[in-house]
Amino acid sequence: MSLTELERGMRGELPKRLSLLMIMPTAALLIGVITLPTLLLLATSFTSPELGFKNYYKVNDPLYILVLFRTMIIAGATTFLAVCLGYPVAVLIARSGKIVAAVAIACVLVPLWTPVLIRSYAWIIFFQPNGLVNRYLIESQLISKPLRILYTDAAVVIALTHVMLPYMVLPIANSLKAISPDLPKAAQNLGAGAWSIFWRITLPLSLPGIFAGCLMVFVLTLGAYVTPALLGGPSTLMISTLIGQQITILLDWPFAGALSLVLVVLSLGITAVFRRLLKLERVVAYD
């Protein structure tokens, strides 16, 4: 063993060959189960005549444009609600003691521990015409007849916000923990109030976590399938459920591949925009 390898072993670092050998099973699984099937599905979108672009001309239909637009609106609304609801929880986690923070983290992670079908059916019980929400509103005499909540965009947004909240809270909490507690104290000693400290110090320095959370929530919501299918129904069609219909019901795999490629390009474009915003935010925050 050379001196360099000995030094790496003392620091707990593995040799490069051994590291590559250890990740090969996981890489092979990802390539075989996810990457190759996805590439094959995308390749089917070019199997039609007219240079393989017939399926992409079909995407320009107003119906599919409306579905894509609705998907982006729902993803944007879900991201906005996740920020509004998740930021106070992230502050609680970052500023509280270990016990309170552990309880808050456990409550945030409950949606990830619950199967997606159970979560969706629980929201159906809440939102159905004789469900808990309508029953409470009627008994409180706030409404005279049940509201139509189930199978609407609002039901999908609320349920997706519940599912995506952990992906927003945890990055923001990490950013808040990285802020030195001496900065707010110094600002307070200089006469700054609570709101001034928040707007000028806490919020700008936590923007990396906000942008990271927004990126994960927005992109994951674009590809959400089970929750929109169960709570949205046929009247609230998103691009993921549309792809599922093309594959399982209409058996139009080439068009499903075209829609999938559009979704992938859209996700990559949004990721690039968020990365650019994060770089600009760092320049502004530390200017």
Give, as one character, the DSSP assignment of residue 51: G
Q: How many helices (H) and strands (E) does the chain have?
A: 16, 0
pLDDT digits (tens, 9 = 90+) for 193-208: 778 888 888 888 888 8
pLDDT digits (tens, 9 = 90+) for 207-233: 888 988 998 999 899 888 888 888 887
CB atoms within 10 A of CB 76: 15
Tokens of residue 63, six digits: 């119906």
The single-letter code of the amino acid at 135 is R
56 pLDDT higher than 80:
no
* Residue that wins the pLDDT comparison between 75 and 44: 75
Tell which residue, 132, 120, 117, 115, has the closest CA to residue 232. Answer: 120
Q: Report which listed range, 17-21, 50-54, 83-87, 278-282, is most confident.
A: 83-87
The torsion angles phi and psi of 151, rounded to 5 degrees, stand at: 65, 40
Q: Is the pTM of this model over 0.85?
A: no
Q: Identify the architecture of domain 48-285 in CATH.
A: Orthogonal Bundle (1.10)
pLDDT of residue 3: 43
pLDDT of residue 280: 59
User: What residue segments make up the domains of the chain, in order of their start?
Assistant: 48-285
pLDDT digits (tens, 9 = 90+) for 61-82: 888 888 889 999 999 999 999 9
Distance CA 280, CA 68 (A): 28
234 pLDDT higher than 80:
no
185 pLDDT higher than 70:
yes
